[in-house]
């Protein structure tokens, strides 16, 4: 991913679970999916540095449904990519059904 030594240390301290991640089954598919959304390598690295838990998120159960819902709400691809790169924790740490949807419905 091209993280600097300092960024790697930040990731390991913030998310020691990175050592338990199955690269081929979890982390790499997440990174490839993010790139498929139009997020470039340096942005993916920044996202992981900001929210290391992202590489341990479940793609099919969490990330994809949340992004699909954001598009249903009316965000276009560039808006979704911008939101994810600036606030990666939104798709990885908040429940779609219990947190995100109710907050948007309240608005």
Give the closest residue to 70 by CA, choosing from 29, 25, 101, 42. Answer: 101
Residue found under tokens 């990666």: 88
pLDDT computed for residue 55 by the predictor: 87
pLDDT computed for residue 13 by the predictor: 85
* pLDDT tens-place string over residues 1-34: 888 888 888 888 888 877 777 777 788 999 999 9
* pLDDT tens-place string over residues 25-75: 788 999 999 999 999 999 999 999 999 989 888 899 999 999 999 999 999
pLDDT computed for residue 9 by the predictor: 86
Read off the tokens for 2: 């091209």
Give the closest residue to 1 by CA, choosing from 37, 32, 38. Answer: 32
Alpha-helix residue ranges (DSSP H) falling in 17-107: 28-36, 41-50, 64-73, 77-86, 89-92, 101-106
pLDDT computed for residue 19 by the predictor: 79
pLDDT computed for residue 1 by the predictor: 81
pLDDT computed for residue 92 by the predictor: 81
Residue 8 to residue 60: CA distance in whole angstroms? 26
Cβ neighbours for 36, distance < 8 A, ≥ 6 positions apart:
none
pLDDT computed for residue 43 by the predictor: 95
């Amino acid at each position: 991913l091209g993280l600097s030594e300092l960024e790697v240390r930040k990731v390991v301290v913030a998310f020691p679970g990175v050592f338990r991640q199955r690269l081929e089954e979890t982390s790499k598919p997440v990174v490839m999916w993010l790139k498929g959304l139009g997020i470039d390598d340096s942005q993916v690295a920044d996202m992981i540095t900001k929210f290391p838990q992202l590489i341990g998120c479940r793609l099919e159960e969490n990330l994809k449904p949340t992004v699909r819902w954001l598009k249903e709400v009316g965000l276009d691809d560039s808006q979704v990519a911008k939101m994810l790169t600036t606030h990666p924790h939104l798709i990885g740490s908040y429940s779609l059904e219990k947190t995100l949807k109710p907050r948007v419905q309240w608005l």
